[in-house]
A = this chain, B = another copy of it.
Amino acid sequence: MNLVLLREEDFTAPGRVRIQGRRLRHVLEVHRAGVGDELVVGLLGGAVGRGRVTSLEGGLHLDVTLDRPPPPKLPLTLVLALPRPKVLNRTLAAATSLGAARIFLVNAWKVEKSYWKSPRLSEENLLEQRILGLEQARDTVLPELHLRRLLRPFAEDELPGILQGTLPILAHPGVPEPCPRAPGGPVTLVIGPEGGFIPAEVDLLARSGCRPVNLGERILRVETAVAALTGRLF
């Protein structure tokens, strides 16, 4: 937690907040902050600044000054085949910390049906993981997150609009074209499930405008691939 993310309801007066729960514990146990110490803070969806600890009685009391914009988002839309529940959390937090502006989680043949029933797909967890990514990267603006349980209507009806004005990259092992490097401008990056998209899905996505490219011989986990491709593209 490199930034204490505040919400409107944390404010007890203008410029004064009181926080409790997970954030309080983290500040006490990891930062080991005491009265007088300064912490980096930010308002969810708003500005970034500093908070000075004024008291630890009944919660963490801070006097805060919010005076800087958060880091800009990358012009990056991620379209990810829904990862295994265990991998989903890490992937969402990593993608958020990297600065992706928008994330779509979509179905694919090799996405097990049970993944869509995971409790990790609750609104609450999907928010929590993105919050962790924001706190990591000192950002305050949540990436948009959308779930699409049917690939075909998504690819045919919605994806062409998403791709418009962006470089449309489909990371797919085994195709000859390498992933471009720092193309400049917005990118839509589509990444398949473990085991990859099946050929019919690659065709479907290509018909919708995606350009299949490879990232070398190595097959990477989705969260590793998202970071490596983001580093390469931006």
Contacts and interface: CB of A to CB of B under 8 A. Distances in A.
Contacts of A139: 218
B97 A224 contact: yes
Interface in A172-231: 181-182, 216-221, 223-225, 227-231
A94 B90 CA distance: 13
Integer count of this chain's copies in the complex: 2
A85 to B, nearest CB: 15
Contacts of A52: none
A218 B181 contact: no
Contacts of A220: 97-98, 136-137, 227
What's the dominant secondary structure at chain A's contact region?
A: helix
A97 to B, nearest CB: 6
A138 B218 contact: yes
Interface in A64-111: 71, 90, 93-94, 97-99
Contact of A71 (B71, B217, B229): B217
Interface residues of A, number: 29
A232 interface: yes
A110 to B, nearest CB: 11
A222 to B, nearest CB: 11
Contacts of A224: 94, 97-98, 223, 227
23 contacts: A71-B216, A71-B218, A90-B90, A93-B221, A97-B219, A97-B220, A97-B221, A97-B224, A99-B216, A136-B219, A136-B220, A137-B219, A137-B220, A138-B219, A139-B218, A181-B181, A223-B223, A227-B231, A228-B228, A229-B231, A230-B231, A231-B231, A231-B232
